[in-house]
Structure 1
Amino acid sequence: MRKFLVMIMLVSGVLSLRAQDETTFTDEELQTYASVMVWAEQEKAALSSIVSDSVAIWLEESPLDNAKYNELSKADKKDDLASVEATPEQVEAYKEVKARIAEKTANFKETYVGKIKGDIGAGLYNKLKAALKKDEEVKERYQAIYEELKAEAAAENDEEAEEESPEQ
């Protein structure tokens, strides 16, 4: 009988520990997380656009054309810039464009990490990120909030674009 009671106590202890491990998140926490993720998505899109536009402008003003830039970029990824037939000016222009892109990317990452630490908190961010991979209920709640915030942000962007465009 004693073994049976000890076994029941052990099982109930394990179950209570498992229940404590399962974290529930409030809608406010999910909303905070989602708002940072919506912001990050918008910033990534803006960064991509800025980089593309900037590369086009920088390339117009440099001895480098799009084809040569792409060729140098592919070779650089393989750490073999010397294999590309390019003038020293073209290589220098490529390195300048690459440095500008790296600077913009670093600024984004710094701001993103700051928003995670300041708005969400590193602990909550890590718990939510893990829960979104494992817990379908949390994922569904988050997705609904995320989609709503994303739609609101898109509507705000559309309104701003209409205000900025000249009337015809």
Structure 2
Amino acid sequence: MTSPTHPDDAHPYLRAASAGVRHHARSQAPSATNPPRPGDRLHLDVLHAHLAALLQLLDRLADSTRPPHPAAGRHLATAHTRLWQATSEVHAAFHLLPSNTAAEAEASTCHPEQLPEGPPVLTICQRHLAAGHVVRRKTTPTDLRPHTTACVR
């Protein structure tokens, strides 16, 4: 496999995903012709899937960066933990939004014991539990507590 010749060619899928997120953020921005809309369950499910994919990417980057560059690896691991906290809040918000139907409301109650065979609406819960398993294997409860940010530069 050859290395990319131009820096823009290095991570085309990641750049495309970032462009998609930017486009969606612009289309969601309120304007005179586009009043603000509240999020819905579908929107949060897709956002959660994106965050879970970013969690996997950050986890791999932190693991591969840590041996040659320990300080940078620690920062990436911290970013992974903070992203997990955001992912967890999106999951919680999903369950607080009203559902479209009474059957969906009944089915979307989070029951981890039913997940492998659960209804399709619970894919967000399956994804969240899988991501949580990885996060809890690599972090301590102290790492997961709320934080304050201070720049050390």
Calculate the TM-score normalised by the size of structure 1: 0.30
Greater RCO, CA 8 A, separation 6+: 1
Structure with the largest fraction of helix: 1
Larger Rg: 1
Calculate the TM-score normalised by the size of structure 2: 0.32
